[in-house]
Amino acid sequence: MNVIEVKDLTKRFKGFTAVDNVSFQVAEGEIFAFLGPNGAGKSTSIKMMTTILFPTSGSVKVGGFDVLTQKNEVRESIGVIFQNPTLDDDLTAYENLNYHAILYKIPKDERKKRIEELLGYVGLLGKKDEYVKSFSGGMKRRVEIARGLLHSPKILFLDEPTLGLDVQTRAFLWGHIQKINKEKGITIFFTTHNMDEAEKIATKIAIIDHGKLLMTGTSGEIKEKTKTDSLEKAFLELTGYGIREDAGDGLDRMRRFRR
């Protein structure tokens, strides 16, 4: 059964097309990687699949629900870990998770137990009452992972989850993702521009560039179709050798104010 069905998805912003007529499916229990260079349209796609950006045209179904007409049902079935931090720095780790638990209607008598269990799992139980602003980037990411799993989603979305993480945190993250995928059958959809991650972790890969889906398949299939012997060569063969520019995010815009 397909838990994600994307058909002819297009997003146009003023002047350019970020996602151009993309179609693909993700089967239940799969670990699906969206692989592409910077600015390929990965984040834009994930935002549309998670209901916080509206498509220009095309349709997206997540967990059997339409992202435009059944937003609430989609939101109930997914967990999202965004590329940039979405924690409130002025709250403690516990408060961040507690708000999340309330928003996702976790019964009051279960909240504390689940929050402590998950914080323990990411190794931050001892710091639960410290403000998030005192945490390092890796620690914040771990809080976000704990938060994303708090309400036991059916599908977990991760946008460039390992960007800027140290080796230990990265190993921990993927170990955990594979574990929940296997044990709980949670479908995983993640974006990355790292070949190794896509090859090692994903059961299926889609290569996207300039908003267009270039190829979908297992890493073996992709190598076969492009007649190359590594995913990296296949990727360069498909997307070309030009260097890409990265768009600024919210924090980059903030930094400009600081002059």
Partner 1 sequence: MRGAVYVMWDRQIRQYFRKKQRLATSLMQPILFLIAFGFGMGSMFEQTGNGNYMQYLIPGIIGMTVLMSSTMNGISLIWDKQFGFLKETLVAPVSRTGLLFGRCLGGATTSTFQGIIVLVIGLFMGFHITNWAAIPLGLLVMFLIALLFNLLGTSFAAKFDDMQSFPAIMNFLVMPMFFLSGALFPAKNFPEAIRVFIEINPFTYCVDLLKYALNGASTYSPVADLGIMISLIILLGALGTYLFDRLET
Asked if 117 is part of the footprint of partner 1 (rule: CB under 8 A), the reply reads no
Asked if 186 is part of the footprint of partner 1 (rule: CB under 8 A), the reply reads no
Asked if 75 is part of the footprint of partner 1 (rule: CB under 8 A), the reply reads yes
Among 99, 136, 164, 171, binds partner 1 (CB under 8 A): 99
Cα-Cα-Cα-Cα dihedral sign, residues 174, 39, 2, 105: positive
Cα-Cα-Cα-Cα dihedral sign, residues 233, 237, 242, 245: negative
CB of 216 to partner 1, least distance (A): 26
User: Residues 6 or more apart from 224 whose CB is under 8 A from it?
Assistant: none
The one-character DSSP state at 60 is E
The token pair that represents 169 in the structure block? 């945190």
CB of 17 to partner 1, least distance (A): 17
Neighbours of 164 (CB within 10 A): 11
Q: Which stretch binds partner 1 (CB under 8 A): 78-86, 185-193, 209-217, 235-243?
A: 78-86
For partner 1, the closer CB: 146 or 222: 146
d(CA 160, CA 141): 11
Asked if 187 is part of the footprint of partner 1 (rule: CB under 8 A), the reply reads no
Collapsing DSSP states into helix, strand and coil, what is residue 74?
helix
Neighbours of 136 (CB within 10 A): 10
Q: Which stretch binds partner 1 (CB under 8 A): 19-27, 96-104, 162-170, 197-205?
A: 96-104
CB of 50 to partner 1, least distance (A): 5
d(CA 56, CA 95): 36
CB of 98 to partner 1, least distance (A): 9
Rule CB under 8 A: which residues touch partner 1? 47, 50-54, 72-73, 75-76, 78, 80, 82, 84-91, 95, 99-100, 102-105, 147, 250-251, 253-254, 257
